[in-house]
Structure 1
Amino acid sequence: MNFAHNSAIKAPTPPDKGSFPLDHDKECMETVNQYVNCLKENNYQSRLCMEFTKQYLKCRMDNNLMAKEEMDNFGFEEVKKATIIEAPKHNPNEPIIAGLRKRNQ
């Protein structure tokens, strides 16, 4: 008997937007470095570094590392409109338990 064939196993499917090849030739590395520097300068608030994100995506499209796409399709405008809330301060001596709210004291 051959049990290797299982009709319930589906063949892998590519991502919705197609392949996303790695940048082996480092064609967009300068933009990546600018983005990382921006994150460091802005306390890792990615929203403040969106221009570098756009530049990176454009670089990838220009170098055929991803399919060409309109910038409007990436949701940057929605991110700009979103409300930013501050994360609560955390005591490093207190354990973090996911889903558990700390009572106000």
Structure 2
Amino acid sequence: MNFQKTFKDVKPPDKGSFPLDHEGECKEFMVKYVKCLRSNDNANSKCRVQSKDYLECRMNHDLMKKEDFRKLGFSDLINKETSIDNKNI
């Protein structure tokens, strides 16, 4: 009998792991995101604003590494916010 274990090369997640929100600091944003998903048949593309807000909260509370939103695929949302902010100046 061959009792050797075969181990595959395990690759960690690209962004690593991040701590759970035990204090509930971002729960409000998470709930908004999940509600959006449920009311849109789990279509993430319709909940991108809520997703960005949730990730931003996690970054602001050191629950995940701060990352440029353009790298996370939210450049279109950043441009909209910037153009809105510039109109108000």
Give the alignment's TM-score, normalised by structure 2.
Answer: 0.64
Retained in 2: the 8 A contact 1:18–1:67? no
Retained in 1: the 8 A contact 2:59–2:66? yes
1:38 to 22, 36, 39: 36
Q: Counterparts of 1:37 and 1:73 in 2: how far apart (Å)? A: 25
Gaps of 5+ in 1: 1-8, 79-105
Count of residues in Structure 1 that have an aligned counterpart in Structure 2:
72
1:51-90 to structure 2, matched below 5 A, reads 51-76=49-74
Deviations 1:30-71 (A, max 9, x none): 011101111122121111001111001100000001111100
Identity level (%): 47
Larger radius of gyration: 1
Distance 1:60 1:42, change over 3 A: same
Displacement after TM superposition at 1:13 (Å): 7.8
Q: Counterparts of 2:66 and 2:37 in 1: how far apart (Å)? A: 26
Q: RMSD value over aligned CA atoms?
A: 2.6
Partner-residue secondary structure (3-state), 1:74: coil
Give the alignment's TM-score, normalised by structure 1.
Answer: 0.56
**Equivalence for 1:97:** none
